[in-house]
């Protein structure tokens, strides 16, 4: 499970042990039932070091024995290991212009419960965050969880963070100004919080728990009313200068074209997005510039997509052309990056007409990457992706401090683990 690193991942004080412990947990999550000897070979640790690490993780109730496996051929029966589902939990919160949600997940990535977020007034930042925090805490209370076992919160937001990764830039989709979203939620929840762009969160989730586990080179495109992307290269999220990588919706394709929501003319959003489809059908006369516009356009787009699947040829023609243009204007990018997998998600990524045109154009353009869409399988939803971001940052990371989870009385008999070189 070699998922992309996040901006908050960092070394803990006891880095060799923390790194080895993290590697063990990743291997067990990837292969439930794996035995200690196989783990030692997979991680490069000595059997003695593995014994110490596994016992520590069992003491912290993060791993559990799952019974005896078949004999190894020499009369010995090995004991398998698995992640302890009740050993820890994370919250995932998606904050979008619509369809926002909170999920509670175990450290195996299994979704335990979820709640839709319906803010009283989305553009009122303080009120909306108060409401989100109240709902999140009520979800924890509902399941009577020990908060020491709630290891972190991930937030997938319709916006981008600044270069330092601390402050959310002004989000026109939400109607929010620039402010420190992470700190604001940490104060309200009294939990660790990590925030990232929704497209990047979905890419993390797919690379770690979804359809692209272990993939080191991937491009994810989210096609909704607007277009966005996330790029994973060498296992890491590509953030770009000032943390702005992935804004493919604003690739200029026609300087004399239609006005985009960003204020420029002729962006890819104006010909290949959900808004572009509505505009070409005469169902919208201006770009989506705020939550109110987005809600209206979202309902209209849903109707158009449903009618296209029911056989409306006029709608199909416009949708197909938009899918073709999305692929056409990303050919250079995709040839340059040469990803192993291209993921198409979002409402348009679940429409067969759009997906078929997108894939056919990529093939015609010589792109050999495997293409996965929401038509083929369920791509991780935004709130679940946020919980995967929390797992990546706070659990399956060398920064994970397990000391608060260990029994109160414990003798430190652990020595530095030895890597087999």
Whether 99 and 112 share a structural domain:
yes
User: How many angstroms separate the CA atoms of 231 and 240, rounded?
Assistant: 10
Q: Does some domain include residue 241?
A: yes
Minimum mean pLDDT among 70-74, 173-177, 233-237, 397-401: which range? 70-74
Q: Does some domain include residue 42?
A: yes
Q: Looking at residues 394-420, what average pLDDT do you find?
A: 70
Q: Looking at residues 331-356, what average pLDDT do you find?
A: 97
Q: Does some domain include residue 400?
A: no
Whether 40 and 96 share a structural domain:
no
Contact 147, 188 (CB under 8 A): no
Whether 264 and 367 share a structural domain:
yes
Which residue in 359, 4, 334, 362 sits closest to 202, CA to CA?
A: 4
CATH of the domain at 172: 3.30.420.40
Q: Looking at residues 167-192, what average pLDDT do you find?
A: 94
Whether 144 and 224 share a structural domain:
no
With cut-offs at 50, 70 and 90, classify the pLDDT of residue 418. very low
Q: Does some domain include residue 421?
A: no
| Burial classification of residue 388, based on how many CB atoms lie within 10 Å of its CB (0-12 exposed, 13-18 middle, 19 or more buried) | buried
* 190-209 confidence digits (pLDDT tens): 999 999 999 999 999 999 88
CATH of the domain at 40: 1.10.10.10
Two tokens, residue 180: 């420190």
Phi, psi angles (nearest 5°) of residue 168: -75, 125
pTM, 2 dp: 0.89
Whether 232 and 341 share a structural domain:
yes
* 372-396 confidence digits (pLDDT tens): 999 998 999 999 999 999 999 999 9
Contact 222, 199 (CB under 8 A): yes
Cα→Cα distances 206→213, 249, 268, 360, 381, Å: 7, 21, 25, 23, 10
Whether 157 and 187 share a structural domain:
yes
Q: Does some domain include residue 285?
A: yes
Q: Does some domain include residue 294?
A: yes
Task: Look at residues 37, 57, 86 and tell me which one is the last residue of a structural domain.
Answer: 86
Task: Look at residues 64, 86, 108 and tell me which one is the last residue of a structural domain.
Answer: 86
SS3 235: coil
Which pairs from 111-117 meet CB under 8 Å and 24+ separation? 111/384, 111/387, 112/143, 113/139, 113/142, 113/143, 114/383, 115/139, 117/93
pLDDT at 420 over 60: no
For β-strands 34-35 and 77-83, DSSP reports them as: antiparallel
Task: Kindly provide the residue ranges of all beta strands, DSSP E only, lying in 10-148, ordered along the sequence.
Answer: 34-35, 63-71, 77-83, 89-95, 100-106, 111-117
> What is the reported pLDDT for 209?
85
- Count: domains in the chain: 3
**Domain range holding 67?**
15-86
Contact 290, 172 (CB under 8 A): yes
Whether 95 and 240 share a structural domain:
no
User: How many angstroms separate the CA atoms of 203 and 200, rounded?
Assistant: 5
pLDDT at 419 over 90: no
Whether 60 and 99 share a structural domain:
no
pLDDT at 239 over 60: yes
pLDDT at 34 over 60: yes
Whether 37 and 132 share a structural domain:
no
Whether 386 and 368 share a structural domain:
no
Whether 323 and 335 share a structural domain:
yes
Looking at every residue in the chain, the average pLDDT score rounds to 90
Beta-sheet strand order (sheet of 77-83): 34-35, 77-83, 63-71
pLDDT at 87 over 90: yes
Whether 143 and 288 share a structural domain:
no
Task: Look at residues 27, 60, 86 and tell me which one is the last residue of a structural domain.
Answer: 86
> What is the reported pLDDT for 17?
87
Q: Does some domain include residue 9?
A: no
Stretch (H or E) spanning 297: helix 291-309
Phi, psi angles (nearest 5°) of residue 372: -120, 135
Q: Does some domain include residue 93?
A: yes
* 276-324 confidence digits (pLDDT tens): 999 999 998 676 655 557 778 889 999 999 999 999 999 999 999 999 9
């Amino acid at each position: 499970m070699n998922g992309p690193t996040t901006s908050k991942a960092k070394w803990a004080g006891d880095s060799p042990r923390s790194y080895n412990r993290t590697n063990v947990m990743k291997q067990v999550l990837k292969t439930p039932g794996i035995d200690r000897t196989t783990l030692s070979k997979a991680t490069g640790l000595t059997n003695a070091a593995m014994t110490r690490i596994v016992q520590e993780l069992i003491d912290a109730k993060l791993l559990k024995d799952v019974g005896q496996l078949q004999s190894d051929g020499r009369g010995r029966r090995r004991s398998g290991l698995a992640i302890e589902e009740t050993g820890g939990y994370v919250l995932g919160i998606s904050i979008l212009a619509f369809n926002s949600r909170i999920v509670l997940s175990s450290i195996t990535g299994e979704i335990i419960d979820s709640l839709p977020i319906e803010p009283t007034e989305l553009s009122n930042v303080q009120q909306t965050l108060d409401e989100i925090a109240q709902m999140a805490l009520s979800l924890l209370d509902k399941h009577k969880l020990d908060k020491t076992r709630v290891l972190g919160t991930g937030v997938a937001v319709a916006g981008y963070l600044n270069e330092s990764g601390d402050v959310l830039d002004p989000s026109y989709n939400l109607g929010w100004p620039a402010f420190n979203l992470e700190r604001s939620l940490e104060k309200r929840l009294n939990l660790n919080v990590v925030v990232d762009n929704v497209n990047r969160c979905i890419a993390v989730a797919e690379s770690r728990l979804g359809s692209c586990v272990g993939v080191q080179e991937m491009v994810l495109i989210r096609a909704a009313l607007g277009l966005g992307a996330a790029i994973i290269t060498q296992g890491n999220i590509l953030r770009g200068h000032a943390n702005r990588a992935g804004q493919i919706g604003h690739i200029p394709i026609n300087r004399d074209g239609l006005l985009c929501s960003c204020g420029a003319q002729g962006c890819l959003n104006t010909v290949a997005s959900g808004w572009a489809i509505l505009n070409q059908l005469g169902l919208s006369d201006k770009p989506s510039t705020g939550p109110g516009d987005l809600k209206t356009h979202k309902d209209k787009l849903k109707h158009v997509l449903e009618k296209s699947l029911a056989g409306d040829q006029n709608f199909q023609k416009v949708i197909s052309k938009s899918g073709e243009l999305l692929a056409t204007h990303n050919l250079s990018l995709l040839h340059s990056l040469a990803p192993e997998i291209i993921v198409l998600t979002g409402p348009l990524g679940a429409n067969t007409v759009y997906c078929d045109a997108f894939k056919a154009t990529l093939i015609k353009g010589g792109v050999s990457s495997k293409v996965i869409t929401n038509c083929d399988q369920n791509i991780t939803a935004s709130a679940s992706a946020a919980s995967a971001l929390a797992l990546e940052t706070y659990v399956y990371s060398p920064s994970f401090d397990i000391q608060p989870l260990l029994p109160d009385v414990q003798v430190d008999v652990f020595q530095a683990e030895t890597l087999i070189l």
